[in-house]
């Protein structure tokens, strides 16, 4: 399934884009939001497109090539936690806006082959980078080598999985027999650890475990914290930041993080913006999305 940009109009309006300004899309993917930003910047503007997924970034380049009167566009295949150094490497001091549409795209979920979804039987990678290096932690490393207590903490801490301890215990039992290599092996383990009623709920019983492992593999909350910390320095006065989150753990970090920066950032959205009925109708995957906007004082 191709990725439909979420809260597109709300986030573009939220950035209050100035023609000729400098903007950063921290999570470019295939350029859904970047395309709309680029159209509004004009030739004198600058857009920095960041993403860890190099294949998605290559697709974004093609899409952005079609923008008429395009701004100067820089691509950075990097983690947005390095925003400050990415910008200084490009000779950019401060910017007028930063967008972070967190999590993963529909293509990454459905067809990356990296094990993000419990629906497909794939190797347990879950890295945003398409080809993780030898040193990078993968979901395989977590389930096969991390301790029972740490796995339980990951499942509970990152996704509020109520059966975290039972699932972690079953993972440890199973890996004594053989290493756990694929998503479907992991799904079987989770199924055998949780009660029958949990297996038959509307939300798939593996959802939280998969979300938590992905967050741990990519240190997603650590990256958000570092991005937040860089905002006072990176945003020009009057500059805007827009965060789009997809689950409560992420949203809590963003909401609290923006509040903690109240000396330098004014919160524009007292309540998070959520998708309209119309958007939910055309894109049900937007259902848990929330946007929060703040402005550099």
Ligand X SMILES: C[S@@+](CC[C@H](N)C(=O)[O-])C[C@H]1O[C@@H](n2cnc3c(N)ncnc32)[C@H](O)[C@@H]1O
Q: Which of 51, 161, 250, 279 binds ligand X (CB under 6 A)?
A: 51
User: Residue 53, interface with ligand X (CB under 6 A)?
Assistant: yes
By CB under 6 A, what part of segment 139-168 binds ligand X? none
Q: In the β-sheet with 290-296, what is the strand arrangement from edge to edge? A: 72-76, 46-50, 22-25, 95-101, 235-245, 290-296, 265-267
Question: Among 50, 124, 172, 180, which residue interacts with ligand X (rule: CB under 6 A)?
Answer: 50
Give the H/E segment covering residue 213: helix 207-217
Dihedral pair phi/psi, residue 117, rounded to 5°: -115, 140
Structure token pair of residue 203: 């939300």
CA angle 126, 117, 32 (to 5 degrees): 80
With CB under 6 A as the rule, give the number of residues binding ligand X.
22
117 belongs to the binding site for ligand X (CB under 6 A) = no
Interface segment toward ligand X; rule CB under 6 A; list 102-110, 148-156, 262-270, 277-285: 102-110
Which residues, including other chains, have CB under 8 Å from residue 130's CB and lie 6 or more apart?
Answer: 53, 54, 55, 112, 114
- Residues forming beta bridges with residue 265, ordered by sequence position: 296
- Nearer to ligand X by C-beta: 33 or 240? 33
**x-or-dash string of contact with ligand X, 211-230, rule CB under 6 A:** ------------x-------
Comparison of 109 and 186: residue with beta carbon closer to ligand X: 109
Sole window of 101-109, 155-163, 165-173, 182-190 interacting with ligand X (rule: CB under 6 A): 101-109
Task: Provide the minimum distance between the beta carbon of 24 and ligand X in the complex, in angstroms, as a whole number.
Answer: 11
When binding is defined by CB under 6 A, the residue of 23, 75, 80, 163 that contacts ligand X is: 80
Output the smallest distance, CB 96 to ligand X, in A.
Answer: 18
Backbone dihedral region for residue 69 (phi beyond 0: left; psi -120 to 50: alpha; all else: beta): left
Rounded CA separation 250/193 (Å): 26
- Do the beta carbons of residue 240 and residue 96 sit within 8 Å? yes
Smallest distance from the beta carbon of 130 to ligand X, in angstroms? 9
Q: Which of 14, 17, 24, 33 binds ligand X (CB under 6 A)?
A: 33
Residue 123 to residues 84, 94, 109, 190: CA-CA distances in angstroms?
Answer: 34, 41, 13, 16
- C-alpha dihedral sign at 78, 18, 246, 155: positive
Q: Name the residue with the smallest CB distance to ligand X.
A: 32
Pair 6, 283: CB distance under 8 Å: yes
Cβ proximity to ligand X: between 51 and 96 the closer is 51
Q: Which of 22, 46, 79, 230 binds ligand X (CB under 6 A)?
A: 79
Select from 23, 116, 118, 128 the one that contacts ligand X (CB under 6 A): 128
Query: Which residues does residue 245 pair with via DSSP β-bridges, in sequence order?
Result: 290
Contact positions vs ligand X (CB under 6 A): 3, 5, 27, 29-33, 50-53, 56, 79-81, 101, 103-105, 128, 223
């Amino acid at each position: 399934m191709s990725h439909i940009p979420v809260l597109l109009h709300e986030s573009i309006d939220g950035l209050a884009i100035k023609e000729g300004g400098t903007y950063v899309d921290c999570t470019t993917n295939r350029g859904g939001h970047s395309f709309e930003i680029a159209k509004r910047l004009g030739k004198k503007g600058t857009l920095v497109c960041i993403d860890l997924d190099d294949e998605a970034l290559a697709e974004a380049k093609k899409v952005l090539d079609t923008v008429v009167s395009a701004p100067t566009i820089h691509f950075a295949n990097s983690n947005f936690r390095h925003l400050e150094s990415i910008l200084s490497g490009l000779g950019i001091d401060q910017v007028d806006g930063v967008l972070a549409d967190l999590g993963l795209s529909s293509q990454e979920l459905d067809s990356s082959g990296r094990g993000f979804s419990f629906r497909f039987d794939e190797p347990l990678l879950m890295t945003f980078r398409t080809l993780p290096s030898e040193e990078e932690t993968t979901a395989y490393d977590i389930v096969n080598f991390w301790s029972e207590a740490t796995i339980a903490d990951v499942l509970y801490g990152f996704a509020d999985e109520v059966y975290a301890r039972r699932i972690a215990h079953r993972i440890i039992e199973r890996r004594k027999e053989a290493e756990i290599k694929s998503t479907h092996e992991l799904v079987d383990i989770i199924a055998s650890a949780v009660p029958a009623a949990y297996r038959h709920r509307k939300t798939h019983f593996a959802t939280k475990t998969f979300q938590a492992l992905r967050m741990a593999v990519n240190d997603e909350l650590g990256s958000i914290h570092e991005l937040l910390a860089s905002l006072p320095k990176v945003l020009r006065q009057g500059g805007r930041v827009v965060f789009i989150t997809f689950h409560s753990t992420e949203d809590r970090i963003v909401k609290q993080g923006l509040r903690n920066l109240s000396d330098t950032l004014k919160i524009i959205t007292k309540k998070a913006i959520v998708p309209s009925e119309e958007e939910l109708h055309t894109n049900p995957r937007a259902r848990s999305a929330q946007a929060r906007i703040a402005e550099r004082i």
